[in-house]
Structure 1
Amino acid sequence: MDEKLQELQEKARQTCRRASSAAADTAYLAMHQAVRLTDSARLRLQLAELENRRDRELRRVGQLVYATHTGDPTDSEQLLEQLRVVDEVNDRIAEVNGELARRKGGRLCQRCGGVSGGEDRFCRHCGARL
């Protein structure tokens, strides 16, 4: 009877080890997925902030152009500098979109900035060759 009890105890220990290992693996995978989701959410927030900044900068460009139209000429260097700021923000937006596309397994169109599937040969948004 002692042998059977020891055999059962050993089987119980093995089962506990396997269950413990499976639980640890599951916890690790859950943590890894949570980190990925958090990083993606952080990138989407950064993208929204950049898009808001671009809107503000474009409004400023519009104000400068309109001021010129209404008779208060805008210094061309001031306007060019404002347009450079918009270009920088657009470049950063493209970088963040590219990173988001990469994380999703997709591709970023160089022409329009749209995200397409990883296996796509043409952009889903503008039709350009990827």
Structure 2
Amino acid sequence: MDEKLQELLYKVQMAAVDIGNTAAALATSAVRGAEELVETGRQKARLIDLKAEVNLRLREIGELVYGTHTGEPADSEVLFAKLREIDELKSEIAQISGTAAQGEEGEGVQAEICCPNCGAAAQAGDIYCRGCGARL
């Protein structure tokens, strides 16, 4: 075989190997990206569930407090238990939000801003919560 033809075939073979390696690297990267998207989706779904739980507890506390207004005695132990539940839920929200913010900072995406009082989503630039009016 001609020496130039062998050289050309060798270069084609090396190009094919490089293309194969690049394709494998892209596939691996795509899988990692998909896994990160799934995990982010799970975290956001968990945040939604936690915020709903906080709102439910706040509603229950509100009903207990309103009951005192109408003459029904409120069990302070039940009230404090619900407040502790809210503290735990908000702690988990903060933890998940912090993890999500760390992951999103690397991607150049701004993390969701949540009200520290009620957990409602806020927009960048908001000074007060749109849900409860608390200062952010």
TM-score range, shorter chain: 0.7 to 0.9
Structure 2's unaligned 5+ residue stretches are: 128-136
Taking only aligned residues, the RMSD between alpha carbons, in angstroms, comes to: 2.6
Map Cα deviations across residues 44-74 of structure 1 (whole Å, 9 max, x no partner).
1111110011111111111111111111111
Give the TM-score, by structure 2 length. 0.75
Percent of residue pairs bearing the same amino acid type: 37
Name structure 1 gaps, 5 residues minimum: 115-123
Q: Deviation of residue 10 (structure 1)?
A: 1.1
Question: How far apart in 1 are the matches of 2:126 and 2:18?
Answer: 49
Aligned residue in 2 for 1:41: 41
Runs of 4+ in 1 over 4 A off after TM superposition: none
- Deviation track 1:8-60 (CA, whole Å, cap 9, x = no partner) reads 22111101000001111111111111111211111111111100111111111
Q: Which has the higher contact order (CA 8 A, sep 6+)?
A: 2
Count of residues paired in the alignment: 120
Query: Normalized against structure 1, the TM-score is what?
Result: 0.78
**d(CA) in 1 for partners of 2:95 and 2:89?**
10
* Structure 2 counterpart of 1:68: 68
